[in-house]
Structure 1
Amino acid sequence: MTEQLTETVEPVPAPEPPAPVSATPVPSRTRRVLWAVARWTVAVAVCGGVGAGTTMGITALDRNEVPGLATESDGRWEYPALRLPALPADRPRPFTEGNDAEIHYADARQLLLPAPARATVDPKIDGDWVSEEAYLTGYGKEHRKQVRQILDDTALRHIAGRAWTMPDGTRTSIHLLKFSSVAHADELHRNLTSDGVEVLPAGVGELEILDRVAGDVRVPDVSAYAYGEAKPYGPEQTCWAYIQAGDTLAVVTQTRKGGALTVPFQQTVALQAQLLG
């Protein structure tokens, strides 16, 4: 069994974000959200297409249950050991006492999930800041004006991003959208997913909410919502997830010719959520 997920004792120092954090406190809340994730043995059985639960996450698990730890044959990708970045002096973690606005004071670029082994990283989206225009290209043309207006209304501070392609053609992109408070991040998510509003990724004609599959694990204070491109789709299928974590909304998107795979999608979403939790 290959070890992929470890907990760092001495975090790696990170640079300050490009703009000072200006948080508007909102009422404190505890969002202990139970995420539904397929047990990885079950997920492998359905890896020909996305069939994950609508929510997923991790906390203290047995070694063979952690998404980053796996044998190569079960379809999981080989991610490097994860590290939480150092915080500026006297700044708390996002879900600790005294941080009612649930602010991530660490540099958002240091909270991005690293690319797995054998990935070809996109040099244009390689763990640095991403412009609003570049982010909007991930949505269908008919939705970009709407998303732009939402971003303008919700006091977006900046976007960090990373993208890569695996040898089987699966393309993954992760964007962390950071706001001045949890209220603004929540507002963006509500506008993107509210009833009757379908803001879809580029190339997607119709979505479906991914059904729950057996197996429960937890990430305190973080929630995620997963979607897949409904059949019939074209030569590629896209699946995506929104991860709500305090002042930050993560958007994870995977596209693959012939159909998106369940296991790496679940694994990627779960590990990114852990870094934000």
Structure 2
Amino acid sequence: MSEQTAAPATEEPEVLAPAMPPMPSVPPTPAVPAPRPPRRVLRAVARWTTAVLVFGAVGAGTTYGITSMERTDVPGLATESDGRWDYPKLSLPALPADRPRPGSDGNPLEIHYADLRELLLPAPAGATLDKKLKGGWVTPERFMSEFVATDRPGIARTLREGTLRHIAARGWTMPDGTSNRIYLLRFSSADDADAFRDERYIGASSAGAPLHGAHEMRLDESWKGGGEVDGTVAYVFSEPKPFDSAQVREAYVVAGDTVALVVQSREGGGGTPRVPFHQTVILQNQLLG
């Protein structure tokens, strides 16, 4: 994937070129967010301690994109030196007519009007697709299966009471055995998505409900927040040693009305590679930003 520049298109969506630090040379022009209800601010302030780095979104119209980066900074580009996965060229779907992007003027609820399934990160080259997670809709029960059984009733209650609209998911396995699963949960508004995060105790100091197969999750201190989009936040965790047969890594991305969960694991004593995990979180973040 070569150097690309993506900007909001008027007819066709431009190619999305994901990026890692350093920051883009073109200054971002973030939209002014709508005021938040005091209840939400007070509830969320204790957890919004993870640093959010701005990654510019430019222009107007029915689609939106990012600024160009040097070839060596593009996280979608596979390299032999750091183990990045070879993702295909990414493009953002066109929005329905007269529908603004999340965070822009006229969209105070920060709703993603694009088809949620088209905002899922595609599988990289060489991946074997998960036949049960093909990039379509999944049930809350399938999402809850990622967590330990004792926490599933609480998660089900939160989803039931939290105006959940849809869940889309895609999964794959890489040749080295790394398993990747991405879930996108869309709620009725950004406040409802934030409420899910808060009620499930997801934040900079807590990964929330424990994942199935992981004995403990700790904040990933190697995560630098590169490529995060203004107005979104990512919470990134990894299972510390000694882990069982597979090390688990997970990340939550909160972007407007949508919460993304990214889970990776790999069997074997070597653990789950950090670089492609961070790359995956960055790219999924940029598709939702």
Range class of TM-score, shorter chain: 0.7 to 0.9
> Given the superposition, is the C-alpha separation of residues 213 and 90 from structure 1 closer, same or farther in structure 2, using an over 3 Å criterion?
closer
1:126 is aligned with what amino acid?
K
Cα–Cα, structure 1 residues 256 and 115, in superposed 2: closer, same or farther, change >3 Å? same
Deviations 1:140-185 (A, max 9, x none): 1111111111111211001000000000000000000000000110
Deviations 1:81-137 (A, max 9, x none): 101001111111112111111000000000000000000001111110011111111
What's the secondary structure of 1:72's corresponding residue?
Answer: coil
Counterpart residue number, 1:21? none
Instruction: Please give the TM-score of this superposition, normalised by the length of structure 1.
Output: 0.79
Q: CA RMSD in A?
A: 2.8
Which structure has more relative contact order (CA 8 Å, sep 6+)? It is 1
Q: 1:177 aligns with which of 185, 192, 199?
A: 185
What pairs with 1:1-277 in structure 2 (closer than 5 Å)? 2-3=1-2, 7=6, 10-11=12-13, 27=35, 34-35=52-53, 61-192=69-200, 193=202, 198-212=208-222, 216-258=226-268, 259-277=271-289
Worse-superposed segment, 171-180 or 195-204: 195-204
Distance 1:77 1:6 in 2: 20
Contact 1:122/1:162, CA 8 A, preserved across alignment: yes
Is the deviation greater in 267-276 or in 86-95? 86-95
1:97 and 1:225 mapped to 2: Cα distance? 27
How far does residue 217 in structure 1 lie from its aligned partner after superposition?
A: 4.6
d(CA) in 1 for partners of 2:170, 2:250:
15
- Residues 235, 154 of structure 1: CA spacing in aligned structure 2 closer, same or farther, 3 A cutoff? same
Q: Distance in 2 between matches of 1:183 and 1:88?
A: 23
- Residues 60/97 of structure 1: CA separation in 2 closer, same or farther (3 Å cut): farther
| Cα distance in 1, alignment partners of residues 207 and 74 from structure 2 | 34
5+ residue gaps, structure 1: 13-25, 37-57
Q: Do the aligned residues in 2 keep the contact of 1:59 with 1:220 (CA within 8 Å)?
A: no
Q: Would you say the 8 A contact 1:112–1:127 is kept in 2?
A: yes
Instruction: Give how far 1:33 is off.
Output: 5.7
Identical positions, percent: 47
Contact 1:33 1:218 in 2 (8 A): no
The verdict on how the C-alpha distance between 1:158 and 1:4 changes in structure 2, with shifts beyond 3 A counting, is farther
What is the CA–CA distance in structure 2 between the aligned matches of 1:197 and 1:265, rounded to whole Å? Answer: 16
Task: Describe the shift of the 1:117–1:63 C-alpha distance in structure 2 as closer, same or farther (beyond 3 A).
Answer: same
SS in 1 for 2:91: coil
Distance 2:207 2:226 in 1: 29
